[in-house]
Structure formats: structure tokens, C-alpha cells
Amino acid sequence: MKELSVLLDLEAGRPIYEQIYDYIKREIREGKLKFETKLPSTRALSEHLNVSRSTVQLAYDQLVSEGYIESRPCRGYYVLKLDGLYDLTAVEYKEIHRSISQTVKYEIDFSPSGIELDNFPYNAWRKVSKNVMAEELDLFNIGEPQGDYSFRETIASYLHESRGVNCSPDNIIVGAGDQYLLMLLDRLLCAEHGNISYAMENPAYRKAYFVLNGMGRTVIPVPLDEYGMNVGVLRNSGAQVAYVTPSHHYPLGIVMSIGRRMEMLGWANEQQGRYIIEDDYDSEFRYRGKPIPALQGLDHNGKVIYIGTFSKSISPGLRISYMVLPDTLMDSYAKVGIRYSNTVSRIDQNIVNLFIKEGYYERHLNKMRGIYKTKHDALLAALKKMGKGYRISGESAGLHILLSSDKLSEVEMVQRAGRKGVRVYPLSEHYLDSHEEQNTIILGYARLREEEISRGITLLSEAFNEKNM
């Protein structure tokens, strides 16, 4: 049986099942996977690729439906004969491949990544940039490893006022994205406590998982209930550090209850060397009730490491995140962390600093909250028209919601939507281990206009409710 070394391009925002599908299709078209080759079982491939089994199933189903492979009962999946395709030159292949990629065109894409930039305050940004570059020539010199002090002061007071985070600028580390900060944090934790094992919510934000797992650490998936991470399972897992998204779980949208937050802190307080990483990635956008202060604000024992980002609230192209270390880790930072130069341009640090200090950030956030709320409400209103048999969740915050069906599997929903020109995203891709069949899809709405949202859901409704698709 041939080993399939599928190249998972997770960055490009393309669903994983589609990449597996593309890869196998290409291998067949190029003649690398020959007629009658047996493919690995969905279980074997899902384990090999560390994706859920239903993701692989989705890819195989699509290949079956397009006639590239067939399923033989009790035997598995086999490559079918494709005439006239084996002798393609590389150039011909590339052209064909391009045309194949282009055949799947989506009219409406409910991608959960990215933000709306139509209302970005470009003029304010340009003005601030110009002011920074006119005055601060010293910014071309190297800065402090933690980031410019004045920028850290601004972040500290923003976090205190908006998120109830207790911190001093001395405890803030500015870095080029959450992934970089996690790499650095892992260095500090391991320097202090040896080879750390992590617990992550399952499903989870996979880009964080890749970092921790990629560093060679043990990452233990811990399930969630409606209140957040299951602390009983966490306690039994033996993990020292728990990575959570309390404000708005990614991707389930669960807001961790106050009771669960206290339980999490209780777990952390039970032993030295236990920590909670609070990734507050999109706390700026909340549509229901009062803003929920950060878990970090409840911690009095130096147990919470708070991570935030400007990727959702300003721009993902900027690459600016920040981390608030508890005092308990500052010694480790002073010994180990300080050896790493800062990764964010000082000019950019000062632009964002001025953007916040001059009030543009708050105005922008208020405006975007209104815009996203309108989109969010439009999506909910449209979904209500879908009829019985559907369930909505994760709708109180953030930039995506979940839709579950009583009748259709996730695979069916993604395929039916695709045939109508609507791209929706399977939930199962976010599970860290093989997982039973899902019936839930993710609908991101940040980049869609109201009329696109409404049209998209009309198409989805048709697709899901038709009898013979």
C-alpha cells in the first residue's frame, strides 16, 4: 500500500479535506497512483495525517463521486482507470491542474478566517504612520527585547480597562504573532520546569497545537462541555499547562462560565509549575450581555499567562501580538527570554501605540462591533428561516457561528453547499484526535456583506432541504 505524503497547506485557508482530495486527484492524474492501487483506509490516513477520520472520509467521498476511486465493500478504496492522462508532461499537467482548481468556484465563502477591511480607517492609519516616521528616527535602531516601553504601557492600560487584566508594562512581551509568542513561552516554561506537557481544548485552534506539538511537547486533548474545558479530565491528564480560550472558544464559541474559570484556577493552584495560557484572540467582539473580564484578572497566584493580538481588531497583516507573563515567570524571562531579540518592527509598534493613544483604536473597535453585530444578526435571522432540524451555537461572540443538522452529516452539508457554490467549513478538522462523525459546520461572516450572508443562507437552505441532491 502506497504511503500518501499529502502536503497539508493549512495556511492558505483551504479546508484540509479539499487538500487531501486535491492531492490524491493529482497523484492519480499524474499517474503516480496507478489503476488498481489500494488507498490507505480512512482510519490509517487520518492517523497518519493527524486529522479526523471524517475529514478523510469527506475527501474520499468526493473522489468517489467524481469517479477517481471506488469503494469496494469489505476491501477498501481503489484507484479507477483514467485513460489518456498518464503521459502528461509537467507543463501540461500544471495547466490541467490549474483548470481543475478553477472549476470549483464559490459564489459565497463563509470562511472563518480574516476580518472585514472595508471600514478600516486608512486615513487615520496613514496620518499616524506619517507622524511616527517624521519624528522618531531612533526607531531604526534596535529596541528592547520585550518591545518598546511606551507601547507596553499603552497595552497595559488598554488591557486593564477593557479586559480587567492586572498587569504592568514590565510583564508584557510584544511579539510577531501568537505562534511566535507560544514558541518563546514554551522556552521559558521548559527552562523553569523541564519538558512541559500541555492540555488543549478539543477541538482547538490548530495553529497553536502545531507549535506546541512541533516543539516536541506532549499535547493532551481535553474535551469541553457547555461551560468550557472539563477540569476532571484535565486533572487526570497529568498536563502541567492548560491552553484555553475562555472568552470565546475556538471553534465552538463556548464562553467559559465563571464557575469553570474558578475551577481552572483551582486546578492551577493545586501544584507548583501549573499554568493556564489564556488566549483571548477575539474578545473584542461580543454581542450579548456584558463583556466578560479576562480569566487573568481572577488570578492572584501568578498562574495565568494572557495572550492577545491585534490581528482581529486591527489587521492580521500587521503581525502584532502580546503576552502578559505572571511575576512567577519573569525570572525565567530575565534569564532565557531576554536572549531573544524582539520580532516586531519598532516603527510598527509606535504606529499602533499612537493609533491607540489618539483614540483611533477605540473608535474603530466600536464601529466594527456595530458592523459585525449587524452581520451576525443578519446571519441569525437568515438561519431562522431554514426550518426545523437545525441548531445554532457559539453565537454570543466572535466572528463565526456553528450550524448543526439533525439529518445531514458534516460531509453531506459541505458537499451539498459546494454544489450550490457556497463554501462552508467542516468542524471536524479542528479536532486533535480521530473523532466520531460530526454534523456541524462553521460559518464565518466577517468578510461577507449582509446581502451575501442572506443569499448564502438561502442557497444553503435549498441545498440542505432538497431531497435528491
Interface with a copy of itself (CB under 8 A): 5, 7-12, 113-114, 117, 120, 122, 125-126, 129-130, 133-134, 137, 139-145, 176-177, 179-180, 183, 187, 190-191, 207, 210-211, 214-216, 311, 314-320, 331, 334-336, 338-348
**Of 198 and 464, which CB lies nearer to a copy of itself in the complex structure?**
198
**Of 263 and 348, which CB lies nearer to a copy of itself in the complex structure?**
348
**Of 177 and 251, which CB lies nearer to a copy of itself in the complex structure?**
177
Distance in Å, CB of 338 to a copy of itself, minimum: 5
C-alpha cell at 357: 493613544
**Of 76 and 316, which CB lies nearer to a copy of itself in the complex structure?**
316
Q: What is the DSSP letter of 255?
A: P
Strand partners, 219: 198
Residue pair 310/352 in contact (Cβ under 8 Å)? The answer is: yes
Q: Please report, in angstroms and rounded to a whole number, the separation of the first and last CA atoms in the chain.
A: 34
Distance in Å, CB of 79 to a copy of itself, minimum: 22
Cβ burial of 111 (10 Å; 0-12, 13-18, 19+) is buried
Q: Alpha carbon 65 to chain centroid distance?
A: 30
Distance in Å, CB of 56 to a copy of itself, minimum: 17
What contacts 388, CB < 8 A, 6 or more positions away? 406
**Of 211 and 432, which CB lies nearer to a copy of itself in the complex structure?**
211
Distance in Å, CB of 98 to a copy of itself, minimum: 16
CA-CA distances (angstroms) from residue 300 to 165, 256, 265, 304, 333? 11, 19, 9, 9, 20
What contacts 420, CB < 8 A, 6 or more positions away? 459, 460, 462, 463
**Of 188 and 256, which CB lies nearer to a copy of itself in the complex structure?**
188
- For cell 486527484, what's the residue? 25
CA-CA distances (angstroms) from residue 268 to 167, 184, 238, 272, 275? 19, 21, 12, 8, 6
Dist CA 395 CA 376 (whole Å): 8
Distance in Å, CB of 143 to a copy of itself, minimum: 6
Distance in Å, CB of 114 to a copy of itself, minimum: 6
What type of residue sits at position 416? R
**Of 133 and 386, which CB lies nearer to a copy of itself in the complex structure?**
133
Distance in Å, CB of 383 to a copy of itself, minimum: 27
Dist CA 11 CA 109 (whole Å): 16
